[in-house]
Structure 1
């Protein structure tokens, strides 16, 4: 579902290129479900309920690369990260 190691033939992920939501081909219908992970914030930043769930779970420890974005989105929705002091 993403880069598999330090050597990757692609310079950007589909999410970074903005093509993530294009239909993907499959011989059968597929649905991938996974647990929420700290690096998954870009996939849910446009849904206030999902952002609230993310902040409840990871609000006090988002990845450094996402910290500013998480804070900005939380501010936009008037949400406070869990364990914020």
Structure 2
């Protein structure tokens, strides 16, 4: 599907039209002063991006068990925060 862009200042009066296009599968790039600052994608594309990031961080889901390797990760303590910080830092270096 095509990608289209719009200036942030032009978004409000065209929001309904833009959202309909995004729902149909188009991607929308939001620009401020000519530079891309954000993107709108439909929920199916968002889910694919989110799943890919989870796979990169926690490993792929085992089809036999439906779980990620290593079991359940506790969302407390500094271990999780540190792992997330390292993950995002490595992604920033790649860009």
> Which is helix-richer, 1 or 2?
2
Same fold (TM over 0.5): no
> Which is strand-richer, 1 or 2?
2
For Structure 1 versus Structure 2, the TM-score category normalised by the shorter chain is under 0.3
- Higher Rg of the two aligned structures: 2
The one of the two structures with greater contact order (alpha-carbon pairs below 8 A, sep at least 6) is 1
